[in-house]
Amino acid sequence: MRYLAELMDSVAKRTFLNGSFLKYPMLIGDDVYIKDTGIKGRVVDETKNTLLMNVGGKLVRAMKKGKRFVIYSKYGKEVRVRGDEINMRPWEYAI
């Protein structure tokens, strides 16, 4: 458990440097707009290949690969990213 807490603290510290992203933080809790499909919702779970989003009270699973996303982070940042860049386990791209 201690290692996990240290890992999460490390992620929080590396998320921003001078107001910009170093790498993408984990997306759970962020609002995401999928440009290719027009779907916007809040991420409730994330796997290697998919995002599970709450869209108007319904759960929608979206593939990451091949999609274009706009991420509205809980820290007030808006980031545009290709799904291929984050098509991995959340802890692999967040550190």
Cα 38 to Cα 46: distance, rounded to the nearest angstrom: 19
Total domain count, the chain: 1
User: Is a pLDDT exceeding 80 seen at residue 62?
Assistant: yes
User: Token digits for 74?
Assistant: 């809980």
- Which residues constitute the domain of residue 55? 2-93
Cα 10 to Cα 68: distance, rounded to the nearest angstrom: 27
11-61 pLDDT tens trace: 454 444 334 444 556 788 899 999 999 999 999 999 999 999 999 999 999
pTM over 0.75: no
Confidence of residue 73 (pLDDT cuts 50, 70, 90): confident
Residue 46 belongs to a domain with what CATH number?
A: 2.30.30.210
pLDDT at 35: 95
pLDDT at 90: 79
Rounded to the nearest angstrom, the gap between the alpha carbon of residue 11 and the centroid of all alpha carbons in its chain is 13
> Mapping DSSP to helix (H, G, I), strand (E, B) and coil, where does residue 79 land?
strand
